[in-house]
Structure 1
């Protein structure tokens, strides 16, 4: 009997402990090991994953730069959930003969969380919850969405869906990105109007970020942009933390340049226990509503992620890889 072509499979960063229940892994040859906690720095990653020929990575939770890939000679297949992963050096994988495959995934979960953060900030849900738990009653005067201006940094797939919901709430929607033109905004057919960068930050009551992280978008939103925002405005980021300059963001929060910030993504993830974001939100500062990078985390999305990961591994073992990613 032929030896299985897949011997050892590592499933990484299964924080919730749901990977094995989200797909039928019994169809795979070989031994499966699940890692629930972050592995640590590059040295710890290499030590933990030595000997595995297949690794299933959850998004960008564990980076795979060239040095790590070179130190894992047994690795033959690296599966990432989603079809884009900036933490994997695809050129290095190609050079080393490592196949990299992705999975499908929906945009709906991130859109839903974006609106959860917006609504949570506008209606001051977290503060009201705390007041009621502490025995109090009405203390805040929330804002309105109807008639407010929603400014979108990015009008791609996610931005367009967020725009459509904003319009359903009766909002005016404006958008900007480095390559967005009035014609492209009109073609999106979601009622968004393209404006200049400065105008977006000056006019918007709520700014929501929907850009892909790249060399050109790292630090894209800086102090000048945040200074332009109205004192009562809100900022929401469900894309990637480094798109907003963290030093500028901290000043905006601590000095109260704006009224509130909703964050799902951070420069460092998971957030260290003593990170300043955990302590932000003192009197006189902008209100902060935090979630632990949950934009893509839903039961349905995970079933798609892990179901496709199993399919990727079986296809690779059969010599016919699917959903391959290339540099």
Structure 2
């Protein structure tokens, strides 16, 4: 099969142990990101299978109509909001997806919490510039950690907060609140209370039609001027422009962000704010995670070629 893997920013995929699974196939890996349909159609013209790295490339019906050879899209991780599944089905393109691990994004979330609360990046840079002890950080112990989205990642971050001696507060759907209570965490019946009480508030929601823009300007305006908002999930969970506006107004007082509306980012309003800590969507970008993600995706390609369904989300199975 001709297999194309786009958007490998770090040239990491060929270095993975699992890459050897594709020996014998024509595999083409690209490091740059293309945005226009014309460019993507030209690059993918011969592809029989695409292996997508998360949501870096959108697969639209307009693009699919120009890919007559495409038979399979193997998606790393479980997110498929960037793929037009109905269009894939109409054109006989099978879509498979794997499952993500909460470990890497949960660990990055906590790294951002510590970095922001202690001003670690700023202190490092100031010391390199010859300045000593320029800011006063804050302890986590005894403060309130709010978790918005008590799923696999959110529940792991909640346990980190417990280990650091924080009061953990959960708000979400009834099932989330029930699980949180069973695990011994405080819950609140009102969304506004989560924003008002949290010293650190972490977003761990999947992006859907229901959750898009769920965090509003009013929510952020209710946060403490000393609070920290951490978003390692999706930028679109927050109402457009609300976070930048809120940070300029001082509520929340600080934000640590790993996700953006349009990636990769070359410039963004958050990069120009002193009270924002920005990382380049690295929550899932680490070697162990990649071996798991791509190992599953490659297994799905091989299973499809052999006529064995594996992880099929939508579409026919090769015979």
Does TM, scored on the shorter chain, surpass 0.5? yes
1:41-84 superposed Cα distances (whole Å, 9 cap, x missing partner): 22221121111111110000000022212221110011110122
Q: CA deviation at 1:191?
A: 2.4
1:280 aligns with 2:254: no
Structure 2 counterpart SS, 1:325: strand
Structure 1 counterpart SS, 2:291: helix
- 1:210 corresponds, among 204, 207, 219, to 204
What is the CA–CA distance in structure 2 between the aligned matches of 1:180 and 1:261, rounded to whole Å?
28
Aligned counterpart, 1:137: 132
Moved more, 296-305 or 245-254: 245-254
1:171-224 superposed Cα distances (whole Å, 9 cap, x missing partner): 01111124456433223x152424410111110001100000011111100110
- Where do 5+ consecutive residues of structure 1 fail to align? 1-5, 282-286
Change (3 A) 1:261 1:252: same
Aligned counterpart, 1:75: 70
Aligned counterpart, 1:261: 255
What is the CA–CA distance in structure 2 between the aligned matches of 1:253 and 1:27, rounded to whole Å?
47
What is the CA–CA distance in structure 2 between the aligned matches of 1:56 and 1:209, rounded to whole Å?
28
1:314 aligns with 2:314: no
Change (3 A) 1:324 1:38: same
- Where do 5+ consecutive residues of structure 2 fail to align? none
Structure 2 counterpart SS, 1:173: strand
Q: CA deviation at 1:91?
A: 1.8
Aligned counterpart, 1:156: 151
What is the CA–CA distance in structure 2 between the aligned matches of 1:79 and 1:149, rounded to whole Å?
40
1:258-317 superposed Cα distances (whole Å, 9 cap, x missing partner): 22100000111111x332222222xxxxx1111111111110010112222221111111
Structure 1 counterpart SS, 2:187: strand
Correspondences of 1:84-103 after superposition (within 5 Å):
84-103=79-98
What is the CA–CA distance in structure 1 between the aligned matches of 2:184 and 2:61, rounded to whole Å?
41
Aligned counterpart, 2:240: 246
What is the CA–CA distance in structure 2 between the aligned matches of 1:179 and 1:19, rounded to whole Å?
40
Contact 1:217 1:243 in 2 (8 A): yes
Change (3 A) 1:26 1:233: closer
Change (3 A) 1:61 1:182: closer
What is the CA–CA distance in structure 2 between the aligned matches of 1:149 and 1:65, rounded to whole Å?
42
Provide TM-score, normalisation by structure 1: 0.92
What is the CA–CA distance in structure 2 between the aligned matches of 1:136 and 1:263, rounded to whole Å?
26
What is the CA–CA distance in structure 2 between the aligned matches of 1:247 and 1:289, rounded to whole Å?
17
Q: CA deviation at 1:93?
A: 1.1
What is the CA–CA distance in structure 1 between the aligned matches of 2:143 and 2:175, rounded to whole Å?
22
Aligned counterpart, 1:175: 170
1:41 aligns with 2:29: no
- 2:13 corresponds, among 7, 16, 19, to 19
1:54 aligns with 2:42: no
Count of residue pairs the alignment pairs up: 314
What is the CA–CA distance in structure 2 between the aligned matches of 1:182 and 1:13, rounded to whole Å?
38
Q: CA deviation at 1:319?
A: 0.6
What is the CA–CA distance in structure 2 between the aligned matches of 1:26 and 1:322, rounded to whole Å?
16
What is the CA–CA distance in structure 2 between the aligned matches of 1:190 and 1:25, rounded to whole Å?
45
Moved more, 234-243 or 80-89: 80-89
What is the CA–CA distance in structure 2 between the aligned matches of 1:48 and 1:10, rounded to whole Å?
9
